[in-house]
Amino acid sequence: MARSRIPRSRHVGVTLSQSLFEALREREARTGETLDHIVQDALVQALGLDHHTLFQVSTAGALVQGVYQGCVTVGALKTHGDFGLGTYDGLDGEGLMLDGKVYQALPDGSVVEPADSATAPFWVTTTFRPDRRERLAAVDGWDDLCAQLDALRISPNLFAAIRIDGLFELLRYRVACKAPPGTDLVTATSHQAEFTARAFRGTLLGFWSPGYSRALSIPGYHLHVLSDDRETGGHLLGVRGSGLRVQVMHVDGLVVALPETPEFLAADLTGDPAAALRQAEQGGATGE
């Protein structure tokens, strides 16, 4: 994978106690995080900085073209956040990251925890620290959910991370099935497995991306669902519920790591993927 482009940084020299230095080295060895990441994350938390960044692997445009080859491990993704979503090598199911744990929704709707060595071709993650907490009295369908979430966002030009917890009266969701190399996204998702659940206790998690980001991200709302018992999940299509707890984090930074796989380097990514993404990701969204 190519090195991520990151904002300009400053170098600071500090003197650490031996015990603190050893603790840093131990965590580095245990988690695979870099020392820079460990120290910066600790400082952000200690100083209470209101700065939120998304870390994204590959682009939505590459997915549309069928570039599904895994290029980053689950273990590496865990070093960049505790919340997010994506998919797996070959479009093999739906990826979910919640409270620091990573899950894989399989074509039969069941959920497993993949090995840290499992790979993903596309993923978006962040460290979730909500800026706003509200309760949705009633949600009657996908469009209604989107409208209520729109009212909670502060700008049409910032990304947002969204978490919704509760007992859902009805959920419709799907799980992508593994596709042959080179199969475009619309074709690959045309025979996906779909599920309907009632009295579903769980979490909706995902992101809202601005329209101007369509070449990189999936514009609009992209939400996955995970049950509280961690036994089922997938990509959200429809929703109905009441008394739902919603948390929103406004995002003012985006870091994109681009694959260096032969498939990505050779792909034609000059087109506008918005229509294909809408059909594949949100075309079936409805309240029922």
Q: Compute the C-alpha angle 92/97/100, nearest 5°.
A: 140
pLDDT tens digit sequence for 234-260: 999 999 999 999 999 999 889 999 988
pLDDT at residue 39 is higher than 60: yes
Can you give the pLDDT at residue 37?
66
Q: What is the DSSP letter of 170?
A: E
**CA pair distance 77, 124, nearest whole angstrom:** 9
Is pTM, for the whole model, over 0.85? no
What does each C-alpha distance from 238 to 25, 37, 137, 147 come to in angstroms?
Answer: 46, 37, 17, 14
CB atoms closer than 10 angstroms to residue 231: 12
**CA pair distance 284, 189, nearest whole angstrom:** 11
Can you give the pLDDT at residue 147?
98
pLDDT at residue 201 is higher than 90: yes
pLDDT at residue 48 is higher than 70: no
Collapsing DSSP to helix, strand or coil, 143 comes out as: helix
pLDDT tens digit sequence for 51-70: 589 999 999 889 888 888 89
Q: Which residue has the higher pLDDT, 3 or 227?
A: 227
**CA pair distance 205, 235, nearest whole angstrom:** 10
Q: Phi then psi for 274, rounded to 5 degrees? A: -60, -45
Domains of the chain (ranges; CATH) run 17-49 (no CATH), 132-252+271-282 (3.30.1330.80)
